[in-house]
Amino acid sequence: MKKSNRILLIIVAVCVVTGGSAFGVLVWATWSVYPYEDTYYYNPETPSPIERININCDIGSIQIKYNKTPTDYYAQVDLDIQIKGILVEGKSFQDFFYPVIWQNESTQVISFILDAKASTWLTFSISQRVKVYLTLRTDIIYDINTLASTGSISMDIPDNSILNNTKLSTSTGSISLNAAKDTTFLGNVEISTSTGSVALYAKQVNFSHSLRAFTSTGSLSLNFSKCFIGNNLVGTVSTGSILFNSYNMKYSDDYIWSLKTSTGSIDVNIIQYTEIGSNITGAIQTSTGSIDVYYKDNSANIGAKFTGSTSTGSIDYNSIGFGGFIETGGSTSKTITSNDYSSATNTYTFTLTTSTGSVEVNGESL
C-alpha cells in the first residue's frame, strides 16, 4: 500500500476512535505553508534566427510576458509555488513534484517541464498556487509552444514584436492572448483549451499564416482591430458562445471564415470603413442557439451578403442608418444582400445556419 494511502487510513481510524478532538490535534500539528521559488535562465552561446521554447506544466498557470528593460538572457523562467494545508509540515519540493526538466543546452528547442506527483495530493484539503512566468526579449524572434494540463495561460505581446509559430493550449483552464500594435506573426497561431474560455485581442497585428482558436466547453472571444490576415480564420466551440469583432480588416487574398459551435450563440460584429483587398466568404453555424450579425460599411466598393437558414426560429433584418440591404426568401430561409453587392470590388459573403434558434442581421451598406 502506498504511504499516502496508509496515512489516510490512519487519519480516518483516529477520527473514528477518538473523535474530532484528535483530528483537531492532527490539523494543528501538521498544518503548514510550503513556499518554493526558483529561476531558470537561457542564454545561448550560438543564437538561432528563431529561438524555440517549450513550456509544459502538469499543474499551474503560465504567464508569458516581455522584458521592460534590456537583459543579457534570451529567456527567463520564474517558478513560484505555495502549498498549504494539513500534512504539509516537513514536506519538500520532491514530495509534490518530480525534478524540473530544464533543457537549455545542446538542443534545438529549450524546454521547461513541471510534472506533479499525483499521489501526494491525495491528503485532505490542500490549497496550492503554482505559477510559471516566462519572460522574453523584445528583440528576439521566438517560436512558442505552451501546454498547461490544469491551469490558465496568458500572453501579453508589446508593440513592434515579431514571433514565429505561437501555440497556447490547456486541458482545463482559460487562455488569453493580447497582441499590441504592429506585432507580426511569421508562423501559425493556435490557441485551444478543452474546458475553459479563449480570448484573443489584436490591434494592428499582422497574421501572416493561419489563425485557429478552439474550446470544447467554454466561450470564445476573437477581437481584431485594423489587422492584416494572411490565411483562413477558424473558431470552433463544442458547448459555448462565440463573439467575433472585426474592425477595418485587410486581407492578402480571398480567405474563409469558419465560426462554429454546437450549443451556444454566435455574435459577429463587422465594421469596414477601409478597403478589404479581397473577397471573404465563410460559414457561421450553430446547432442550438441564435446568430446575431452587426454589419456596417461606408463604401460602394464593399458589399455584403448573408444567407440565413433555421429549422426552428426566424430570420430577420434590421436596418441601421440608411440601410442599403434587400431581403429575399421566407421566414426560415432568407438572403440579405447589400444593394451594391454585385458591383462591389470586394465582398463579405456568409452563410448563417442554426437548427434551433433565430438569425438576425443588423446592417448598413452605403
Q: What is the CA radius of gyration of the chain?
A: 26
Q: What are phi and psi of 289, to 5 degrees?
A: 155, 170
The amino acid at residue 290 is: S
CA dihedral in degrees (322, 366, 228, 252; nearest 10)? 150
CB 157 within 8 A of CB 134: no
3-state secondary structure of 234: strand
| pLDDT score of 23 | 47
pLDDT in tens, 115-162: 998 766 655 457 789 999 999 999 999 999 999 999 999 999 999 999
CB 215 within 8 A of CB 192: yes
pLDDT at residue 85, rounded to an integer: 86
- Bridge partners of residue 174, in order along the sequence: none
Tens digits of pLDDT across the chain (366 residues) = 544 454 455 555 555 555 455 545 555 557 889 999 999 999 998 899 999 999 999 999 999 999 989 899 999 999 999 998 888 888 899 989 999 999 998 778 999 999 998 766 655 457 789 999 999 999 999 999 999 999 999 999 999 999 999 999 999 999 999 999 999 999 999 999 999 999 999 999 999 999 999 999 999 999 999 999 999 999 999 999 999 999 999 999 999 999 999 999 999 999 999 999 999 999 999 999 999 999 999 999 999 999 999 999 999 999 999 999 999 999 899 999 999 999 999 999 999 999 999 999 999 999
Rounded to 5 degrees, φ, ψ at 181 are -55, 130
Give the DSSP letter string of 87-154. T-TT--HHHHBPPPEEE-SSSSEEEEEE-B-GGGGGSS-EEEEEEEEEEE-TTS-EEEEEEEEES-EE
CA 139 to chain centre: 24
How far apart CA 269 and CA 267 sit, in angstroms, is 7
